[in-house]
Amino acid sequence: MSGRLEAKVLVVTGGTQGMGLAFAQRAATEGASVVIGARDKDRGEEVAAQIRKAGGNALFVPTDVTVEDEMARLVDSAVSEFGRLDGAFNNAGGGPMASVRDADSAEWHRSLALNLTSVFYGLKYELPAIIASGGGAIVNNASVSGVKGDATQAAYNASKHGVIGLTRSAALDVARSGVRVNALVTGLIDTPLWQNVVNQAPSTAERYLSVQPTGRAGTSDEVAALTTFLLSDEATFISGASIAIDGALTA
């Protein structure tokens, strides 16, 4: 059990399903110790146990990424358990679909808290821990919504644009500290969130699929592969970048 992430200690938010889960599983098979943060305690403990049963190292820490103290505890738990922190995948996100005119204030603030403020909290505590451990890397999961518009996703679009800007600011801030920070510009990925759209709003799902140049959604494993590379020592001159994994949607 070895790979590009061997011996690294990595935090993964939203690590109990979809892209976060795929990355946590892959990182563990490559020899990393993964610390998973998510709200669902039962599911989180199950995922961590499955990784350990397969021979990997995993710890689950119940975490609401919109609460600063809980994000601080997640990072502290990683350092306390494994003695260091080498990287993070700030992946948690989601939110309602509504236009500027239809969204209410509560939806706006929930979306920004989940998709943007959570990344700020992550960076705030991850960066010092990684610097103290000798350097490493962070990947923030943004979206094609961070580089293009969608009339039906006002708050989500705004928050994902913010993730890309925050990523660039953080990368510049720590450029001489041995830490790299990049963002993923993820397109349509087949996750439980996407399957909810397929099941609950098939016409909306068809609209999104119809504009995919490849004719399909990406997979969580494809995202995990790119994230693995960006967190590895093979990507040491890549920082502040927003890297598309979207099947040519924004080409």
Residues marked active site are found at 156
What distance in Å separates the CA atoms of residue 172 and residue 139, rounded to the nearest whole number?
14
What distance in Å separates the CA atoms of residue 196 and residue 217, rounded to the nearest whole number?
14
Q: What are residue 60's DSSP bridge partners?
A: 36
**By the 8 A CB rule, do 81 and 140 touch?**
no
What distance in Å separates the CA atoms of residue 46 and residue 59, rounded to the nearest whole number?
10
Buried b (16+ CB within 10 A) or exposed e, 82-106: bebbbbbbbbbbebbbbeeeebeee
Region class of 94: left (phi > 0), else alpha (psi between -120 and 50), else beta: left
Strands, DSSP E only, in 100-193? Answer: 136-141, 179-186, 189-190
What are the φ/ψ torsions at residue 71 (nearest 5 degrees)? Answer: -70, -40
